[in-house]
Structure 1
Amino acid sequence: MPDRPHAASDLSPICLAARAHVDIRAPNFGIREYVEFGTEASNQVFSYDMSVKEGMFHVGDSARPVVGFDADAAAKYPYN
């Protein structure tokens, strides 16, 4: 059965980065469903080099998933 191009990409950049890097290494990968994320709060907490340009998803120049995490920014948004 072919790979299903679904992941928890709308939950965090970490989930998306991990799955996108698996996808680009799979020779039988076809298409990814992408649910855009990036609220003001999440963009303060996470930094990443992933983008959509002309309908194509780009994972950046790193050979591995790279997502920065700012613990001080995250502390502003405690879990309830």
Structure 2
Amino acid sequence: MNDFFLNLCANNFGIQEFIGFGNKKMEQVFSHPLSFKDGYIFLEDKPGLGVDYNETIADNYKYKRSYLPVTRLEDGTLWNW
């Protein structure tokens, strides 16, 4: 979110890539004041970074450790996932 606010302050800003906020769990834990219209992002005009974190709901989703696939062979050469 803070990248959106930083971009609003930069007069030479052009394009901001944005994938989205993930899934419904993410939307429950993090509230965001974004609105989209005609390819533009609109932010609320209030102090802060624009993200509220709900600790009570976040406690329902415990961290599960996971690993990315190994991208190197045993001899150290790079390999596709």
Per the TM superposition, whether the score is higher than 0.5 is yes
Q: Which runs of 5+ in 1 are unaligned?
A: 1-16
Contact 2:29 2:58 in 1 (8 A): yes
The question of 1:70 aligning with 2:54 is answered yes
**Partner SS for 2:52:** strand
Higher helix share: 1
Which structure carries more relative contact order (alpha carbon 8 Å, separation 6+)?
1
Q: After the TM superposition, which parts of structure 1 deviate over 4 Å for at least 4 consecutive aligned residues?
A: none
Structure 1 residue 76, shift from structure 2 partner: 0.8
Structure 1 residue 63, shift from structure 2 partner: 4.5
Letter of the structure 2 residue corresponding to residue 72 of structure 1: T
Root-mean-square deviation (Å): 1.3
Identity %: 31
TM-score scaled to structure 2, two decimals?
A: 0.70
Q: Which runs of 5+ in 2 are unaligned?
A: 65-81
**Partner SS for 1:52:** strand
Q: Aligned residues, how many?
A: 64
